[in-house]
Structure 1
Amino acid sequence: MTLPQPDRVDGYVDLRSYAAIGDGRTVALVALDGSIDWYPTPDLDSTPAFARLLDAANGGQIELRPAADFTVERSYVEGTNVLATTFFTDTGSVRVTDSLNTGVAGRLPWGELARRIEGLDGEVEMRWSVAPGSSFNTASPWVQHSVHGPVLQVQGTTMAVRGRDIGEEQASDRDLSGTFTTGAGSRHLLAVVSTHEEPLPLPDLDTIDDGVDRTIANWQDWSREFQYDGPWADAVERSALALKLLLHSPTGAIAAAATTSLPENVNGGKNWDYRFAWVRDTAYTLNAMIRFGLREEVHAAVSGMLKSVREQGTDLKVFTRLNGSRADGAEVLDLPGWRGIGPVVNGNDAAAQLQMGVFGDLFNIVQLYVDAGHVLDTGTGRYLADLADLACDVWQRKDSGMWELDEERHYTTSKLGAWHALSCASHLADLGQIPGTPERWRAEMERIRNWVETNCWSEERGSYVWYPGTDQLDASILLHAISGFDRGERMNSTLDALRGELGRGPLLYRFSGAEKEEGTFVACAFWMAAALDCVGRRDEAAALMDELVPLANDVGLYTEMIAEEDSSFLGNFPQGLSHLALITAALTLGEDRD
C-alpha cells in the first residue's frame, strides 16, 4: 500500500503513523516519515532521550528521510520486528531498514539502533539528524568531542553516531546532522550506539551492518518456533511479534504497552503510563504463548511473575515495574503531551488499588502453566493455597474493578475474578500441585455464583450489570463467557445488550457512559468475538473478526482505543491487551472450527 507523506501538525503525526521495533529491553517508534520519535534507553521504562512523541519542541528525535516530497510504502521484514520502508520521490526511490540490533546470544549489552539505507533507482537526496531531547525536562543534551569523534551526552546516557557514506557530519552543541545522495545500488548506514552510566563501545560499521541481518535471522528463528495455522494467521503472527516486543528479556515481565501518556480522550485528562507488567496481561499472554509452543518465554514470564508476587506476600498488586519491584504512583510532568493533549505522567496511581481480578489472573497463569505439563515448587504451592484462602474472604469487599476506577464498588467482574481464582485453585489441588482445603474453595465458589446471579442480573435489561443496584453495563463480563462462568441464555442475552448500548459498528466501549470520555476499547471488541463463539454464535463471531482485523494500521499494529468517528488511534501504543484479545478470539474460533 502506497501512502502519502504524513502531515506533521505542530510537529506531531497521527498515532496510526507509527511502527514499533525492539530488542528485548526497549522499543522504538518509527513514524511514516522516517522519524524515530520514541526511544527510551536502556530499558522501556527508562526516561527517554528521544521523546518527540510527547514533546515536539524539546523531546528529541532521530530523523532520516528524503529532502524532497515523497510517498511511502512499508512493511515488516517477514517474520520479524525489523521494519523496511521505501520512499518514492520524483527523482528516485530508496529503502530504509530499521533494526534494534540483537546479539548472537540475545540482546546486546548496549543499545544499537541501525538504519540501513539502500538506493533502489534514480537519485534521492537524504537528510538525517540525531537530536536528543531534554529527557522529560530533566537534562540538557550536549555534544562532547572525543578522540574518536563527537559523542552525545544526556542524563547519564552516552551515544555515538556511526555512519557510512552519510555525508559530512555537522555538529552543533546539541545534535549531529548531515545530508547525502543515494543512487541505484548504493548502500549506506546510520547507527546510534548507546549506553547508560557506563563506558561506550564503538562497533565497526561492518559489524553493525551485519547485525541487521543477524537480527532479522534471530526474529525469523523465533517465528519458526511459533505454531499457528488457524484463521487470521497473518494478524495472529503479527500480534505475537508485537507481544514479543513488549517482553522484558532480563526478567520475563510483559509491559502493557510501549508508551506513556498517549491520550484516550482528545480533550485530555485520561493519560496513563503503561510501561508496567500487569498480572492480567501476563495471564492472557501466557495463554497465547503456551498455545503457540513458546516454552522459554512461558517459563520466564511465569517464574518472574511468581517471584515478584511472592515478595509482595498476600498484599497483591495489580502490576509491578519491569524489573519486578513495586510500582510508584504517578508523577505529573511539565510536558505538552502528544498534540498538546496532557497530562504527561511517569508512574501509575493504580499501583495502590485493590482489584480482586488479580486473584483470578494469577491463578489462571499458574493453571495454564501446570496444565501445559509443568510442576510447581513446594513454596509456590503453599503461597497459592494461602492466597486461595484469602480469596474466600476478600471477594466480599469493594474494590476498584478491572477498569481501575476511583470509586470502589462491588463490581460484578471483580467477584468473578475471585470465583475464577478458586476454580483454578481447586483444579490445582486436585492435581496435587497445591495443598489446602479445596472443599472450602468449591463451597465459596458456589456462594459467589449465587451472589452474582442474585445481585448482578437485571431482568429489565436482560443482562448482567456493572454492579448491584445499577442498570449500567460493563464489557469486561465478556471475559467470563470465555472463562466458562456462563455460556448460557443469560450470557447470550448480555451480549446483545452490550452490542446494543456499547457497540459502534464492530467496535465496543468499555462501560456505560464511556463514550463521553474516551474512544472505543479495542480489546473489548475482540472479546466480544470470542464470547459470541463461546455461546455458539460462530458465524457472527467470524463476521465480527473479519471487520475488526482490518482496523489495524498499515503494519498490523493496534493502539488501546479507536475513535468511532474516524477510526483514529487513541491511547498507548502498541497496546499488548489489544493484540492479546485478537489472539484470544482467533484461538477460540480456531478451536471450534477444528
Structure 2
Amino acid sequence: MHDDDPGRDGHEPLESYAAIGDGRTVALVGATGRIDWLPVPDIASAPVFARLLDAQHGGFIALQPSVPCAVSRRYVSGTNVLETTYTTDDGVATVTDALVVGVAGRLPWSELARRIEGVSGSVPFTWRVQPGTLLGEVSPWVEETERGAVMRCDDITVAVVGSDHDANELDATQPDVAVTGGFTATASSRRLLVVVATRDEPLRLPDPANVDRGIDRTVASWRAWTREFSYDGPWRRAVQRSALALKMLVHSPSGAIVAAATTSLPERPRGGKNWDYRFAWVRDLAYTVRSLVHFGLREETHAALSWLVRTIRANGPDLHVFYDLDGSPATHVEEHHAPGWAGIGPVVTGNPAQGQLQLGVYADVFAICRTCVDSDTLLDRATGQLLANLADRVCDLWRHPDSGMWELAEQRHYTSSKMGCWQALEDAVHLAERGQIPGDPSRWRTERERIRAWIEENCWNADAGAYVIAPGSEDLDASVLLHAISGFDRSERMSSTIDALSRGLGADDLLYRYTGADQDEHTFVACAFWLAAALGCVGRVDEATSLMDRLVRRTNDVGLLSEMIAEEDGAFWGNLPQALSHLALIDAALTIRTMADGARGRGEG
C-alpha cells in the first residue's frame, strides 16, 4: 500500500462500509461487523457512535466472531437491511443488521437491531457497545437501573437489550464506558442484540420479541417501496441500489435530501478539505426529484418540492446554496476535538459554502418545478409568483461573478454558472407557457438569448477545443458536462469539450473536477458519470455505454459510492454514501437509455 494507506491508525478503508437507515438517521457498518458511525436520533445530530472519526474515543457497536473467519455480505434483496455471513473452521452464522421502522413508518426513537442466527456448527461471538464523546465534547457515563445498564452521553440516553445475548456484569473500573457480552451461535439458534437511543426525552426499552418482528417488518417495508420503483433498463442492479441509497438520505420528518450521511471524511491525504455534508443542497434536491419522477415515486417528489418552496419563502428572497434539514439557513462552522478518519483532520460540523453566491442554484429550483409540472403537478399561486420573482432576479444576477458549482473562493464569471442561468430562464419560459407562472415571459426569453450569445462569444476557447472554466482561461471544468444533459449544447462543440475534458482531467475512466484539482484532491465520482451521460447526449452512445459499464464496477461490494475515488488504488475518499455520486449514476443510466432508444428509433446503429 502507498504512504496514504487509508487503513492506517486502526481505521477501516472507507470502501469497507455498508449503510443502513430508517428515514431519520444512517449507520455505517464496517466489513468486520463493527458499527463506526451512528448519529441519534437524526442524521445531523452529534454522533454518539463515531469511531469513524475518532478511533480511541469516538464510540462504536462491535459484534463479530472471536475466532478467525471468512466474511461475506449483501443487502437483503430490495432493502437497506444488511446480511453478513461469517464462516469459521467450526461453523457458519449470519448477522442481520437493521435500523428498525415502526408499523406506521419511522419510530420516534432510534432502534438498531442485530439478529444473529446459527446456520451450522458453532461460532463464538463477542460484542461491545461503547458510546463516544460526541466528537470530543462530553464525557459519557453509565448508570445501573432496574432494567440494567444505561449509558448517557450529554442529553443522549442509550440502552442495550436483547435475547440470549449474554450481557456481562458492568465493571465500573473500566476506563471506557461500555456494555459487553458474548455467546456462541449454534445451528438453528437465534439471538438478538438491540441498541436503543433517544435525545432529551424518555427512553422506552423495547421487548426483544417485538424488535425481532420489527426486523422482518423493516424488510417488508423496504420491499414495498422497491416494488413501486419502476426501472427495467440497463445497469438495473446498480440503479436500484443507488435509488435505495438515495431513499436512505431522504430525511422523512421534513422531506429534505441529505447530501451525505457523514461529516469530515477527507478529500485528500493531507487534510484541510473536510466538510459536513449533512445538509440539504438545493442542487441534490433537483437531481433527486428528476430521478424519482422517472421511477414513478410520487410521495418523495411531492415532499421534496413542498419542503423547498416552504424553505425559500421562509428564508428569501435570495436563495441559499443549502439549508438545514428543518429548512433554516445553516449559519456556522465548528471545529471539534477529534483526530479525524485515519488521523486526517479537522473534524467539523457545518460547511463554509453557506452564504456564497452560486448562480446554478436558480437553475436547480426551476428544474425541480419543471420536472414536477411535467409529471402532472400543478403549482399553487404562491409558488408561481415566487418563481416569477426568481426569474426576474436571474435576469439581473447572471451578469455577476459567483463562486461556481465547486464553491470556489475566487469569484469569477464561471461558464457553468452562466449555463445554469440560461437553463433557469429556459425552464421559466416553459412553465409560463404552460400557465404555471404568472406574467409575460418576454423578458425571460430575451435575457435567455443574451446569455446564450454571451457564452458562445466568451466561454468557447477554439485553441482548447472546449468550453473553458471562465472567459479568458484555458482551464477546464467538468461541471459544463451538466449542460449537455440540460440541453444547452449537444453539438460538435460539446462533443469536442468532452474529448478535451477526457484528455485534460481524465484518470483512466474517472475525472477530476477542474484543472489543477489533481494536485489537491482525488477524482470526483459524479463527474465521471456526467461524462458518460454527456457522451450519450452528443450521440456517442456506444462510448457512453462502454464507460458506464466500467464505472458501475467502481461501487464497493454492496453497491455504494463515496464522493471521491483515488486514481492510484481505487480507494474511497470523502463523505459517504454520497447522494450526488448515486444521482449521477442514475442520471447517466437514464440518459444513455433514452439516447440509445432514440438512436434505434431513427434507425441508427
1:114 partner amino acid: A
- CA deviation vs aligned residue, 1:245-288 (integer Å, no higher than 9, x gap): 00000110000000001011011111111000000000000000
Deviations 1:228-252 (A, max 9, x none): 0000000000000000000000110
For the residues of structure 2 that align with 1:590 and 1:481, how far apart are their CA atoms?
15
- CA displacement 1:102-128 (0-9 Å, x = unmatched): 011110111110000001111111000
Hey, which bits of structure 1, 4+ residues long, moved more than 6 A? Answer: none
1:194 deviates by: 1.0
Which residue of 280, 305, 311 maps to 2:308?
A: 305
State the secondary structure of the residue aligned to 1:584. Answer: helix
Residues 515 and 171 (structure 1), Cα distance of their counterparts in 2 relative to 1, 3 Å cut: same
Paired residue secondary structure (1:349)? coil
Letter in 2 for 1:543: S
What are the residue-to-residue correspondences of 1:225-236 with 2, within 5 Å?
225-236=228-239
Match of 2:249 in 1: 246
1:153 is aligned to: 152
Q: What is the aligned partner in structure 2 of residue 109 from structure 1?
A: 108
Aligned to 2:139: 140
8 Å Cα contact 2:6/2:14 also seen in 1: no
Please point out which of 366, 390, 394 is paired with 2:393: 390
Distance 1:232 1:274 in 2: 27
Partner-residue secondary structure (3-state), 2:98: strand
Q: How does 1:468-507 map to 2 (within 5 A)?
A: 468-507=471-510
Structure 2 residue matching 1:54: 3-state secondary structure: coil
Structure 1: runs of 5 or more not aligned: 1-5
Rounded to whole Å, the distance in 2 between the matches of 1:235 and 1:263 is 25
1:49 maps to a residue whose letter is: V
Could you tell me how far 1:155 is from its partner in structure 2?
1.6
Distance 1:170 1:255, change over 3 A: same
Contact 2:167 2:179 in 1 (8 A): no
**Alpha-carbon contact 2:137-2:337 (below 8 Å) kept:** no
Partner of 1:444: 447
* Residues 66-119 of structure 1: CA deviation (Å, up to 9, x unaligned): 011221000000000000001112221210000000011110111110000001
The residue identity in structure 2 corresponding to 1:123 is S
In structure 2, distance between residues paired with 1:178 and 1:350: 45
Q: Secondary structure at the match of 2:31?
A: coil
**Aligned partner of 1:62: which letter?**
I
Question: Does the 8 A contact of 1:329 with 1:350 survive in 2?
Answer: no
Whether the 8 Å CA contact 2:370–2:431 is kept in 1: the answer is yes
Does residue 220 of structure 2 align to residue 221 of structure 1?
no
| Partner SS, residue 115 of structure 2 | strand
| Preserved contact between residue 478 and residue 513 of structure 2 (Cα < 8 Å) | yes
Give the distance between the partners of 2:195 and 2:587, measured in 1 at CA. Answer: 37
Partner secondary structure for residue 265 of structure 2: coil
- What amino acid sits opposite 2:127 in the alignment? W
Q: Which residue of 2 aligns with 1:580?
A: 583
AA of the residue aligned to 1:304: W
Match of 1:261 in 2: 264
Give the direction of change, closer, same or farther, for the CA distance of 1:533–1:146 in structure 2 (3 Å limit).
Answer: same
Please give the residue correspondences for 1:269-284 in structure 2 after superposition, counting only pairs within 5 Å: 269-284=272-287
Q: 2:375 aligns with which of 369, 372, 376?
A: 372
Query: What pairs up with 1:58-73 in 2 under 5 angstroms?
Result: 58-73=57-72
- Asked if 1:203 corresponds to 2:193, the answer is no
Paired position in structure 2 for 1:289:
292
Aligned to 2:600: none
> Counterpart amino acid of 2:183?
F
Residue 95 (structure 1) aligns with: 94
Q: Are the counterparts in 1 of residues 267 and 521 from structure 2 also a CA contact under 8 Å?
A: yes
- Cα pair 2:22 2:248 within 8 Å, conserved: yes
The 3-state SS of whatever aligns with 1:350 is coil
Give me the whole-angstrom Cα distance separating, in 1, the residues matched to 2:104 and 2:596. 39
Could you tell which deviates more after superposition, 554-563 or 434-443?
434-443
* Aligned 8 A contact 1:84 1:97 in 2: yes
Give the drift of 1:8: 5.9
Alignment match, 1:337: 340
**Contact preservation (8 Å) 1:246, 1:258:** yes
Partner of 1:54: 53
1:11 aligned partner: 10
Partner of 1:548: 551
1:352 aligns with 2:355: yes
* TM-score (ref. length: structure 2): 0.96
- Contact 2:536/2:596 (8 A) holds in 1: no
Q: TM-score, normalised by structure 1?
A: 0.98
Q: Secondary structure at the match of 1:117?
A: strand
Shift of 1:334: 1.8
> RMSD of the TM alignment (CA)?
1.1
Superposed displacement of residue 593, structure 1: 3.1
Mean Cα deviation higher: 161-170 or 101-110:
161-170
Q: Say whether the 8 Å CA contact 1:329–1:352 is kept in structure 2.
A: no
Tell me, yes or no, if the aligned pair for 1:11 and 1:57 is still in contact at 8 Å. no
